[in-house]
Structure 1
Amino acid sequence: MKLFFISDIHGSLYYLNKAIEAFHMEKAAQIVILGDALYHGPRNPLPKDYNPKEVASILNSLKGKIIAVRGNCDSEVDQMVIEYPMMADYSFILCNNRRIFLTHGHIFNVDNPPKLTGNDVLVHGHTHIPVAEKTKDFYLINPGSISLPKENNPNTYGILENNKFKIKDFQGNIVKSIILE
């Protein structure tokens, strides 16, 4: 199964539409949203085409294909307009005999990891910086941000297929990748 990962939409209709185009182009089965869907947060600039109401509408149209966790900019009022569960601080999925721990990154991250083993994967957003690496204890993945990338990175999303995680920009270029052995 092919999984599509996005994080840090921050209410950008423009970049959500780009991500949904990429999701369909990639022919992925599910969209994993790693938090910060609607609100831009007080530390961030307004993203391009900031329209949380329309972002919610588009995401709701795909609710059967979404697995989501709460980001630090997501609130209970957001859950009132979102039609899929999105308020958990973390979630697990099992894929190819490994646990994939999904979280936003403001609670669990490389400096405060959950209890994982060598084959497990910690996937989070929050930093807006793409990462694909093996630590001594687990794999660490961050697909970056689709709307507000940092440190001169491009707008990115992630794809997991056949134990290979690729982080791509919207032109289809691979920014980072890792094989989950």
Structure 2
Amino acid sequence: MKALIVSDSHSETDILEDLKGRYADEADVLIHCGDSELSDDHPAINGYLVVRGNCDAEDEFPYDVIEGVGGRRIFITHGHRYNVKMTLMNLSYKAEEYGADFVFFGHSHIPGAEKIGETIFLNPGSIAVPRGSDKKTYALIEDNKREVSIRFFDDSHKELPHLSCTFLY
């Protein structure tokens, strides 16, 4: 499985189009973890699997999505309903309830990845309004069933190796 994960674009459409053009043919899924602030019929968000963030007014986007991709169970949410700025505990309970292999979320605008139990949690940061850094970020994840490689990039598509990591299964 290969997935592009982006979040918190806050009405920025050019980067979403750029990412779609760059990765749509090579990724199995394009995921937006909320706060796009776009309507569900906006061309820039077309082609992405999208959840609703706290700044999204669009009722068409669900708060949570459970999706099967490449034989893995993915839980996608924005994170504001799980208090992710303070703890991942609530999110990890929900991930366990869903039997998720991966949890993709946003909201904090801070990129990072960690493995809790057998579940990998990934926040791609914000592609528009970063916090804790001046880098606008997104992530690519590749899973070959033995190891999961997570690579973070800035908005000019330069890899940020200090954020990237690999987890073994």
TM-score bin (small chain):
0.7 to 0.9
Matched, 1:31 2:30: yes
Deviations 1:74-121 (A, max 9, x none): 11xx35xxxxx52x1111122344322110011134131214289722
Aligned runs of 1:64-79 on 2, under 5 Å? 65-75=47-57, 78-79=58-59
Partners of 1:146 and 1:155 lie apart in 2 by: 5
Instruction: Identify unmatched segments of 5+ residues in structure 1.
Output: 39-51, 80-84
RMSD between aligned alpha carbons? 2.7
How many residues align? The count is 154
Fraction of identical pairs, as percent: 29
Distance 1:10 1:58 in 2: 12
Instruction: Find out whether 1:179 has 2:167 as its counterpart.
Output: yes
| Residues 91-102 of structure 1 aligned to structure 2 (within 5 Å) | 91-102=65-76
| SS, match of residue 112 in structure 1 | helix
- After TM superposition, the score normalised by the length of structure 1 is 0.71
How do residues 50-61 of structure 1 correspond to structure 2 at under 5 angstroms? 56-59=42-45
| In 1, Cα distance between equivalents of 2:70 and 2:165 | 17
2:138 is paired with a residue whose SS is strand
Q: Is residue 2:89 matched to residue 1:111?
A: yes
With structure 2 as the length reference, what TM-score do the two structures score? 0.75
CA distance in structure 1 between the partners assigned to 2:21 and 2:70 by the alignment:
26
Quick check: 1:132–1:178 contact (8 Å CA) kept in 2?
A: no
